[in-house]
Amino acid sequence: MAATIIADQLTKRYRIGKGLTSLRELFAFNRQSATRTYHWAVRDVSFQLEPGDALGIIGPNGAGKTTILKLLSRVSHPSSGALHVDGRLSALIELGAGFHPDLTGRENIYLNGTILGMRRAEIKSRFDEIVAFAGIGHYLDTPVKRYSSGMYARLGFAIAAHVDPQVLLVDEVLAVGDYAFQMKCYARMAELRRNGTTLIFVSHNMEAVRRVCERGLVMYRGQAIFQGSAAEAVVAYSDAIRDAARQSQDTTAPQEDGLSQRVMTFDAEIERVQLLDAAGDAVSVLRTGAPAHLAVDVRVNRAVAHPIFSLIIRAQDGRVLYDTTTQWRKIVTPTFAAGERCRVEYALQMPLLEGSYELGIDIASADLTHFYDCLERALTFSVVGAKGAEGVVDLGATIAINKLAAPESPSPTYAMAAS
């Protein structure tokens, strides 16, 4: 199949500083200027997507994700590198950009639709669909300035998703809607992809990326540091920010390159995560049904009060199988002083069927405002042993088959057996 998007060594740099472009520079034919310093928002990023592909772009703020979307949508031009995009593109970089607050929902549908490249006739033919998707029926003739932010976002997404794009760019916009609307958006994205739309999805929500995309691209300081499956990309991202946090642990000054927001503070640090068997030895293979012990060794670098410990187990495609935190369990954790260490032990039943699984650990502050530490994939383990069943969980079915008496009653009865 022919590629819809080819990005070859895409690069975008911005000039640092506030200086105005001189008139001479504006008219100059040679735009290179040696005296300037530049910020490389995106540097040498290459990827290729085919119809129906879905690529998730993840990375911390300022890593260049939105810049890539702007380059793809032709809002911004690459400083160097080649970019080829095939067919109509619809971008959700900001929902409802181009809405005018004084105009009604109806007027804004036409306005926004034409800005996104639709013909009026096209908008007319999809009008009802758009209104139904956004769920703004009663407010169609109300100025959008009276809309709630949720309605505003729904209408914005509804219009962009009905452009029938060959390429759809979605930038971290679904966070505004409620859960039901998000589900609707995911369904719409999946539907578009079945019809051959190429999707590029930027999000901070790792579960959303895993759910929507097969492929993942991790951006870090303008560079693509990982490309592969979405599930692997999420792990690579987690490792990258952990490394970055570790390196800048003692620097309190915000950095210039956009990483001023530290994702992890390392006030408490995960030193070691082990699965232990009954004898207390570290193992990486467990048996279905056998008890397992998990030990998490933590070193406290700065005093922390009542940290929240959480454990998450995923299948290899990233689906969450089990997620539990001390907060949900209403366990009050102690307060730790700097330099203290602790071991968090989990006793687990392991009803998983044969397969490979991933285990993640994180420690968050009591108010959940930030992570102290987070290991998206602290370890991988496999489970062996259960025969005669497929799937994920051993539900321990017992099976009983009994012949019934001659069929006098017309409706057969089924017995459900539970152990």
Which region among 14-22, 212-220, 266-274, 338-346 touches other proteins (by CB under 8 A)? 14-22
395 counts as binding other proteins under rule CB under 8 A: no
Three-state secondary structure call for residue 167? strand
43 counts as binding other proteins under rule CB under 8 A: no
Three-state secondary structure call for residue 238? helix
Sheet arrangement for strand 341-348? 268-276, 292-300, 341-348
Tell me the closest approach of the beta carbon of residue 36 to other proteins, in angstroms: 14
- Report CA dihedral (107, 111, 114, 115) to the nearest 10 degrees: -160
**Which residue lies nearer to other proteins by CB, 100 or 299?**
100
Measured between alpha carbons, how far is 281 from 274 in angstroms, rounded to an integer?
A: 9
| Chain centroid, CA 241 distance in Å | 15
Which region among 42-50, 93-101, 127-135, 208-216 touches other proteins (by CB under 8 A)? 93-101
97 counts as binding other proteins under rule CB under 8 A: yes
* C-beta of residue 210 within 8 angstroms of C-beta of residue 217: no
- Sole binder of other proteins in the list 70, 126, 162, 377 (CB under 8 A): 70
116 counts as binding other proteins under rule CB under 8 A: yes
Tell me the closest approach of the beta carbon of residue 25 to other proteins, in angstroms: 10
98 counts as binding other proteins under rule CB under 8 A: yes
**Which residue lies nearer to other proteins by CB, 160 or 268?**
160
- Sole binder of other proteins in the list 26, 399, 416, 418 (CB under 8 A): 26
128 counts as binding other proteins under rule CB under 8 A: no
Question: With contacts defined by CB under 8 A, how many residues of the chain interact with other proteins?
Answer: 29
Which region among 85-93, 177-185, 259-267, 336-344 touches other proteins (by CB under 8 A)? 85-93
**Which residue lies nearer to other proteins by CB, 14 or 328?**
14
73 counts as binding other proteins under rule CB under 8 A: yes
Tell me the closest approach of the beta carbon of residue 174 to other proteins, in angstroms: 17
Measured between alpha carbons, how far is 380 from 315 in angstroms, rounded to an integer?
A: 10
84 counts as binding other proteins under rule CB under 8 A: no
- Sole binder of other proteins in the list 91, 159, 245, 383 (CB under 8 A): 91
Residue 8 contacts by C-beta under 8 Å, 6 or more apart in sequence?
46, 81, 82, 83
186 counts as binding other proteins under rule CB under 8 A: no
**Which residue lies nearer to other proteins by CB, 152 or 357?**
152
Residue 228: name the closest of 238, 213, 217, 212 by CA: 217
Which region among 102-110, 186-194, 359-367, 390-398 touches other proteins (by CB under 8 A)? 102-110
Residue 380 contacts by C-beta under 8 Å, 6 or more apart in sequence?
284, 356, 357, 358, 359
In the numeric block, the tokens 């990023």 are attached to 45
Taking CA 94 as the corner, what is the angle to CA 116 and CA 159, rounded to the nearest 5 degrees? 40
* C-beta of residue 321 within 8 angstroms of C-beta of residue 357: yes
Burial of 367 (0-12, 13-18, 19+ CB in 10 A): exposed
110 counts as binding other proteins under rule CB under 8 A: yes
- Report CA dihedral (194, 200, 204, 208) to the nearest 10 degrees: 10
- Sole binder of other proteins in the list 9, 21, 48, 195 (CB under 8 A): 21
Written as one string, the DSSP assignment of 50-114 is -TT-EEEEE-STTSSHHHHHHHHTTSS--SEEEEEE-S-EEEESSTTTT--TTSBHHHHHHHHHH
114 counts as binding other proteins under rule CB under 8 A: yes
Measured between alpha carbons, how far is 106 from 113 in angstroms, rounded to an integer?
A: 11
28 counts as binding other proteins under rule CB under 8 A: no
38 counts as binding other proteins under rule CB under 8 A: no
14 counts as binding other proteins under rule CB under 8 A: yes
Residue 322 contacts by C-beta under 8 Å, 6 or more apart in sequence?
311, 312, 313
5 counts as binding other proteins under rule CB under 8 A: no
Site residues, other proteins (CB under 8 A): 14, 20-21, 26, 70, 73-77, 89, 91, 93-94, 97-98, 100, 102-103, 107, 110-111, 114-120
